[in-house]
Structure 1
Amino acid sequence: MSYSTENIRNIALAGHAGAGKTTLFEALLHAGGVIQTQGSVERGTTQSDTDAQEKARGHSIDSCIAGIDRGGCHINLIDTAGYPDFRGGTLSAFAAVETVAVVVNAANGVEHGTRRMMEHARERGLARLLVVNKIDAEGADLPALAEALREEFGPECLPVNLPADGGRRVLDCFFHAEGATDLSSLAEAHQRILDQVVEVSEKLMDRYLDAGEGALTREQLHDAFEQCLREGHLVPVCFVSARTGAGVAELLELAERLLPNPAEGNPPPFLDAGGAPIAVSADPGRHVVADVFKIVNDPFVGKLSVFRVWQGTIRRDSQLYVDDGRKPFKVGHLFRLNARNHVEIERAIPGDIAAVAKVEEIHFDAVLHDSHEEDRIRLAPPHFPQPMFGLALEPKHKGQEQKLSQALLRLAEEDPCLRVEHHKELNETVVRGLSELHLKVMLERMRERYGVEVVTHPPRIAYRETIAARADGHHRHKKQTGGAGQFGEVFLRVEPLERGGGFEFVDEVKGGVIPNQFLPAIEKGVRQAMERGAVAGYPMQDLRVTVYDGKYHPVDSKEVAFVSAGKKAFLDAVGKARPIVLEPIVDVEVAIPEANVGDVTGGLAGKRARILGTDARRGGELVIRAQAPLAELTDYPTELKAMTGGRGRYSLDLSHYEPVPPPVQKQLSEAWKPHVEED
């Protein structure tokens, strides 16, 4: 099928776990004629949940992409995971679309995941759509839910269709206004949304007030509707039942007629080398700019790099560069992803989502381009949660170290929230993720896909070190062993930066007492000491190092001498600057039955947690918000399960670092002493 950029719609389905996104994905593909029979999550026959772990667990883990061609329109639909444990793939999909459809379970109402996805989409400047699913569910109070959505997300949340006959069908209330529904009259709903849409245009408003609705053309309403979505002035609410199909065809029609195409969405946040915004255009004739938002290691076609084309046209046999690479690769095969199938295509235009296979140098968030004019730009990625849960692991069977390393590399390529760390001083490999479940799924995939079994144990907590005062340090490195010697002398100053300040290296050397060519060596020595730590063996952060004096020898001064002098002068200064150990503090949200609130809050208080507040949810559920040291939560999954009979769930996000209590710092320092190596 041939189509233009103006006829493309890119939509991500997101929302809380259990809202029915995958079933809705199936229903849309069925209504769009892509599949003949709608699959079932329970039977493991859906187009999107094809992984063995997804079928076994009955929920999505990865995002899945499929295209629908209907009435000259091409809709790229992305089904995303609802569990917060797998947010990496969900947020990655936001970098490829103009619209996020947040799916809400009509029986459960506004849930934690609903809020999270609405906020992420708003921050990204994406059009938002609320899709109320399961409108025929027993006990669903649709009028109350419609009001709850407006209270939670603002008066701009207005229905564009309304349920009728107990959720067995829906009636359009944007273009039509006749009839009664389960919520109200269509005329009333039609009036409210029309009033909201014309507000964005003074000219349109005047025409509407002077001559009434009949004076407005469909094209004018479309343009104003699209502007409302782009500016967040309107969040359409659609009622559907993915199980029965009620409202599904109407949702597709809404996508075709009213949702923004790639030329109408808010400009993507591309940045130049200096971090300044840079414009790209949905022009098929300009240089190619595409962003890789998903990596799949496919057992049949190899590494598959999935990208969104933002500018230009990619054709089969095109020559493309990766980031600022000097050597291009040839697009031998160009694919469109259609759920389980990869369809080979001849070209991809702005707005298209496509993929290339077996190009190892491509990585997540890479920019593909065909001109060095674009080799320093990048698309600002979504804000990913920090992976805080960790497991130290080693292969169960000897001789599989290399195989383990390759498996971890492949898995980390696919998931931006999975991090692999190697701690040389302890000869320890640590993998970090968003939760116990996240890492459990990763280990199961490693065994199933790559045949690697591992032994795990708790890792060290990701403590950091810093300083609390300003101090000066000095070291003279002098070594003479016959022939040319080594000489370098460094005076430097350390001072603390605010939390999150990172590291600054400042050159204040005057008069050439240390030649410029040796300053990088001093910085190298400082960074080596920072990586190793000065108090308890953890990396240092949030400090400034200023080199202001020193000496050199025209014959004996070498890079290695200034590396050593810089390192020891830094340690000398840090020892006087009140070094402290910082611990990660995480934001904790615990959802529990109301009957367990006393046990859970008491348990958190015993973990040095600060309770920030509680929120009541429908169905007698309570959400406790707190901040706690990550070190206190290593056994929390087991404890919460025991306290709530398996009904509690929680999520963590890194908040900040703060100093550990003095007894903890003393304990960490004592534990590190046996690992200190003599220089």
Structure 2
Amino acid sequence: MMNGTRSGPRVAALVGPYLSGKTTLLESLLLACGTLHRKGSVDDGSCAGDASPEARARHMSTEPNFAAAEYLGERWTFIDCPGSVELQAEAQRALSVADVAVVVCEPAPDKAAMLAPLFRFLDELSIPHMVFINKMDQLTGTELRVRDVMQALQAASQRPLVLRQVPIREGQAVTGYVDLVSERAYRWRPGKASDLVALPDTVREREQDARQQMLEALADFDDTLLEQLLEDVAPGREEVYRQLSRDLAGDLIVPVFMGCADRDHGVRRLLKALRHETPEVTHAAARLEIPEAVGGPLVQVFKTVHAAHTGKLSLCRVWRGGVSDGMTIAGERVGGLYEFVGSTPVKRGAAEAGDIVALGRLEKPRAGELLGPAQALGTAPAWPAPPAPVHALVVEAEQKTDEVKLTAVLSKLVDEDPSLSFGQGIEPWADAGEMVLCGQGPVHLALALDRLKHRFGVAIRSRAPRVPYRETIRKGTAQHARFKRQTGGHGQFADVHVEVRPLPRGEGFRFEDRIVGGVVPKTYIPAVEAGAKEALAHGPLGFPVVDVAMALTNGQYHAVDSSEQAFRTAGRMAMAEALPRCEPVLLEPILLVSLVAPSDYTSRVQRLVSGRRGQILGYDGRPGWAGWDEVKAYIPQSDMADLIVELRSLTLGLGSFTASFDHLSELVGKQAERVVEGRAALVAAQ
């Protein structure tokens, strides 16, 4: 803090696109704090974070990594959030409990648009955030300047970006910076603090212009500063720092720093800015609407981990009071209290407000829940909801002995990551009877399967869900069926006359009783209906039959040999024999899909829909998203496979969609023939 008082523990989350260098920046921050004595490498898997088998196999962050550190006597927890667009829900949950976010990006204007959803999420939750333009060693030559990067970033941010440094170039390389508040120049040194140098004449004019722009941006939120600028009075340095801190805490501005984490350039300056300008834990608690009228300590679970040796760990932010090992939280006894440096849990005896710790052996709490001493207090009002699934796989255990275990371990996965979901026949992704795992894309689901194998010891077979085709009929017919069997003693006898006809789409199945004179006793009539329904489960084309009516018009029974089972069999026979004579036709499910993307990519989205036999219903601006469009369309479910992969590849990873079942549509021709042949082959192979 600028007044020199020590702050309580604070949390900074590192976020940004995949390959922006967040994990390398975490290593540099820990080195500067003295937590590490030697930096690790993402390429060789020696980083403090990214220690899981899944992360090291992919050379990317696959879950948030937590690192406790101390800088100038103050405690910090740094969270390295995954950058993959498929893992953004994990990043959002970590961001929600942070005091400040550091948005890490490359000096590439063409990639700046990728930050728009992240900036929007931060602003919706009023999370203070600053930008660190990483990899400044790539900004060589004269064809690209920081102002080009700033212009592109500003187009992605709803809040004004405030440049805090201007680069110093020597030849074509960026070798240092000028701090716009102190007006001091520094030359970067790999792995060490920067050298204070004289302000080069070549950068003086740029520095003055940039500083004036910074002050004018701050003056938009402070009348006193505005008056000083109008009167050409230079504001004091401490006054500028205070204004920067206030505006950052209020999510009014986005300070922008620069450096190169790989060479430790600019990292210590970033640390100092975090130390002086990040608000206290009480600010984040107020932002999340954490209730005040709660006696005793108050913590919030934001992630759970089912670890092999420690059991379930609940990662929590301590909002108020103190927490210690062995105390009671939400009516359960805490069985271990830990902090992390990378993947290594370090046992602690106690934690205070502001800390992030893992509490052991709390079985009931879930992500987002607030916990008091006696009970869980529900989910925080501003807690982000899980995103809708956009990809699905049917899963089954490779070993029959693991089939009973599968549901339990899937429940643990969903407990860890609520953006996963599973169940039998989840619409619109799969047919009934298939165990489906849903998530945010193929990488997300591949990670889940790897964790099932490596952490829980359950190897999984997976495949794409089968399309839930149906069939119906185009015309009606009358059908007579008699079931007669004599086996000694009482036999089996049932005789029915039925009429079968098509119904309008979406009507399902309708049964009509037209029996007069008691030719079929009323006690047997429900059995005829039940038998007919059994026949509808597998129609002439191999699929369940829908939108059919059956009327029982006549029949016979035997006083001794007739039974409910006999009439059930007769009803099934009548329906099964009638359907092939009623011009059966295949029906395919059509989904109502809403696709969203920046307006620059709308034409690509429309071509994508058309290329998947889709029918575009229209498009309009995405509500509340300036510069984005929403395209609504009907798309056959059979053409939805990997839609999210192609959509993201066409839109810099920004596009997404939601889908729901809308209606069934007739499918004819060669494509229908291929579907029927495939179904027959599948049934024959079973």
The TM-score with structure 2 as length reference comes to 0.67
Specify the alignment match of 1:275 in structure 2. none
Residues 365 and 379, structure 1, Cα contact 8 Å, conserved in 2: no
Write the distance in 1 (CA, Å) between the matches of 2:658 and 2:347: 44
Residue by residue, what CA displacement relative to the aligned partner does 1:197-227 show, whole Å, maximum 9, x if unpaired? 344333455567669335x462x44442222
Residue by residue, what CA displacement relative to the aligned partner does 1:69-92 show, whole Å, maximum 9, x if unpaired? 111222221101111111221111
Specify the alignment match of 2:460 in structure 1. 454
Write the distance in 1 (CA, Å) between the matches of 2:409 and 2:344: 24
Letter in 2 for 1:259: T
Number of equivalenced pairs: 522
Query: In structure 1, which of residues 292, 295, 309 is the aligned counterpart of residue 318 of structure 2?
Result: 309
Specify the alignment match of 1:335 in structure 2. 338
Query: In structure 2, which of residues 200, 212, 215 is the aligned counterpart of residue 194 of structure 1?
Result: 215
Q: What is the aligned-residue identity percentage? A: 21
Query: In structure 2, which of residues 385, 388, 391 is the aligned counterpart of residue 386 of structure 1?
Result: 388
Specify the alignment match of 1:440 in structure 2. 446
Specify the alignment match of 2:405 in structure 1. 403
Deviation (angstroms), 1:132: 0.7
Query: In structure 2, which of residues 605, 609, 613 is the aligned counterpart of residue 606 of structure 1?
Result: 613
Letter in 2 for 1:337: F
Specify the alignment match of 2:116 in structure 1. 115
Deviation (angstroms), 1:4: 9.4
Specify the alignment match of 1:81 in structure 2. 82
Q: Which moved more, 1:398-407 or 1:185-194?
A: 185-194
Write the distance in 1 (CA, Å) between the matches of 2:658 and 2:125: 20
**DSSP-derived class of the 1:6 partner:** coil
Letter in 2 for 1:161: Q
**DSSP-derived class of the 2:262 partner:** coil
Residues 33 and 70, structure 2, Cα contact 8 Å, conserved in 1: yes
Residue by residue, what CA displacement relative to the aligned partner does 1:552-574 show, whole Å, maximum 9, x if unpaired? xxxxxxxxxxxxxxxxxxxxxxx
Residues 120 and 157, structure 2, Cα contact 8 Å, conserved in 1: no
1:353 and 2:356 correspond: yes
Residues 113 and 152, structure 2, Cα contact 8 Å, conserved in 1: no
Letter in 1 for 2:637: A
Residues 8 and 353, structure 2, Cα contact 8 Å, conserved in 1: no
Specify the alignment match of 1:430 in structure 2. 436
Matches within 5 A, 1:547-586: 583-586=591-594
1:288 and 2:294 correspond: no
1:631 and 2:637 correspond: yes
Residues 10 and 76, structure 1, Cα contact 8 Å, conserved in 2: yes
Residues 288 and 369, structure 1, Cα contact 8 Å, conserved in 2: yes
**DSSP-derived class of the 1:47 partner:** coil
Write the distance in 1 (CA, Å) between the matches of 2:105 and 2:223: 34
Write the distance in 2 (CA, Å) between the matches of 1:444 and 1:228: 44
RMSD: 4.1
1:213 and 2:213 correspond: no
Matches within 5 A, 1:111-510: 111-137=112-138, 141-153=145-157, 156-165=160-169, 166-176=173-183, 179-180=199-200, 185-203=206-224, 205-206=226-227, 212-213=233-234, 216=236, 218=238, 220-265=239-284, 267-270=286-289, 279-280=291-292, 287-321=296-330, 328-371=331-374, 375-376=377-378, 378-423=380-425, 426-459=432-465
Specify the alignment match of 1:58 in structure 2. 59
- How has the CA–CA distance of structure 1 residues 635 and 199 changed in structure 2, closer, same or farther, with 3 Å as cutoff? closer
Residues 285 and 319, structure 2, Cα contact 8 Å, conserved in 1: no
Write the distance in 2 (CA, Å) between the matches of 1:38 and 1:591: 42
Q: Which moved more, 1:603-612 or 1:41-50?
A: 603-612
Letter in 1 for 2:137: D
Residues 297 and 414, structure 1, Cα contact 8 Å, conserved in 2: yes
Specify the alignment match of 1:620 in structure 2. none
Residue by residue, what CA displacement relative to the aligned partner does 1:55-103 show, whole Å, maximum 9, x if unpaired? 1111111001112211122222110111111122111101211212111
- How has the CA–CA distance of structure 1 residues 279 and 364 changed in structure 2, closer, same or farther, with 3 Å as cutoff? closer
Specify the alignment match of 1:476 in structure 2. none
Residue by residue, what CA displacement relative to the aligned partner does 1:331-389 show, whole Å, maximum 9, x if unpaired? 242111221322222322222111111222222222211256x7356343214321131
Residues 124 and 382, structure 1, Cα contact 8 Å, conserved in 2: no
Write the distance in 2 (CA, Å) between the matches of 1:293 and 1:208: 44
Write the distance in 2 (CA, Å) between the matches of 1:608 and 1:128: 41
- How has the CA–CA distance of structure 1 residues 656 and 411 changed in structure 2, closer, same or farther, with 3 Å as cutoff? closer
Deviation (angstroms), 1:593: 12
Write the distance in 2 (CA, Å) between the matches of 1:121 and 1:112: 15
Residue by residue, what CA displacement relative to the aligned partner does 1:3-31 show, whole Å, maximum 9, x if unpaired? 99834332111111111111111111111
Write the distance in 1 (CA, Å) between the matches of 2:636 and 2:352: 46
- How has the CA–CA distance of structure 1 residues 25 and 389 changed in structure 2, closer, same or farther, with 3 Å as cutoff? same
- How has the CA–CA distance of structure 1 residues 21 and 95 changed in structure 2, closer, same or farther, with 3 Å as cutoff? same
Matches within 5 A, 1:22-101: 22-101=23-102
Residues 389 and 433, structure 1, Cα contact 8 Å, conserved in 2: yes
Write the distance in 2 (CA, Å) between the matches of 1:58 and 1:397: 30
Write the distance in 2 (CA, Å) between the matches of 1:211 and 1:591: 43
Write the distance in 2 (CA, Å) between the matches of 1:309 and 1:18: 31
Q: Which moved more, 1:226-235 or 1:115-124?
A: 226-235
**DSSP-derived class of the 1:102 partner:** strand
Write the distance in 1 (CA, Å) between the matches of 2:334 and 2:295: 18
Runs of 5+ in structure 1 lacking a partner? Answer: 271-277, 322-327, 464-535, 538-580, 615-622, 672-679
- How has the CA–CA distance of structure 1 residues 298 and 382 changed in structure 2, closer, same or farther, with 3 Å as cutoff? same
Residue by residue, what CA displacement relative to the aligned partner does 1:96-145 show, whole Å, maximum 9, x if unpaired? 11212111111365445311211111111101211111111155642311
- How has the CA–CA distance of structure 1 residues 260 and 460 changed in structure 2, closer, same or farther, with 3 Å as cutoff? farther
Specify the alignment match of 1:18 in structure 2. 19
Residues 81 and 89, structure 1, Cα contact 8 Å, conserved in 2: yes
Q: Which moved more, 1:440-449 or 1:134-143?
A: 134-143
- How has the CA–CA distance of structure 1 residues 598 and 33 changed in structure 2, closer, same or farther, with 3 Å as cutoff? closer
- How has the CA–CA distance of structure 1 residues 175 and 217 changed in structure 2, closer, same or farther, with 3 Å as cutoff? closer
**DSSP-derived class of the 1:243 partner:** helix
Specify the alignment match of 2:472 in structure 1. none
Residues 397 and 453, structure 1, Cα contact 8 Å, conserved in 2: yes
Query: In structure 1, which of residues 587, 602, 605 is the aligned counterpart of residue 595 of structure 2?
Result: 587
Specify the alignment match of 1:103 in structure 2. 104
Write the distance in 1 (CA, Å) between the matches of 2:203 and 2:617: 44
- How has the CA–CA distance of structure 1 residues 205 and 153 changed in structure 2, closer, same or farther, with 3 Å as cutoff? same
Deviation (angstroms), 1:421: 1.2
Deviation (angstroms), 1:662: 4.7
Q: Which moved more, 1:196-205 or 1:650-659?
A: 650-659
Write the distance in 2 (CA, Å) between the matches of 1:291 and 1:161: 37
Runs of 5+ in structure 2 lacking a partner? Answer: 186-198, 470-542, 545-588, 622-627, 677-686
Residues 89 and 386, structure 2, Cα contact 8 Å, conserved in 1: yes
Write the distance in 2 (CA, Å) between the matches of 1:610 and 1:105: 38
- How has the CA–CA distance of structure 1 residues 142 and 223 changed in structure 2, closer, same or farther, with 3 Å as cutoff? closer
- How has the CA–CA distance of structure 1 residues 602 and 258 changed in structure 2, closer, same or farther, with 3 Å as cutoff? closer
Write the distance in 2 (CA, Å) between the matches of 1:459 and 1:602: 20
Specify the alignment match of 1:486 in structure 2. none
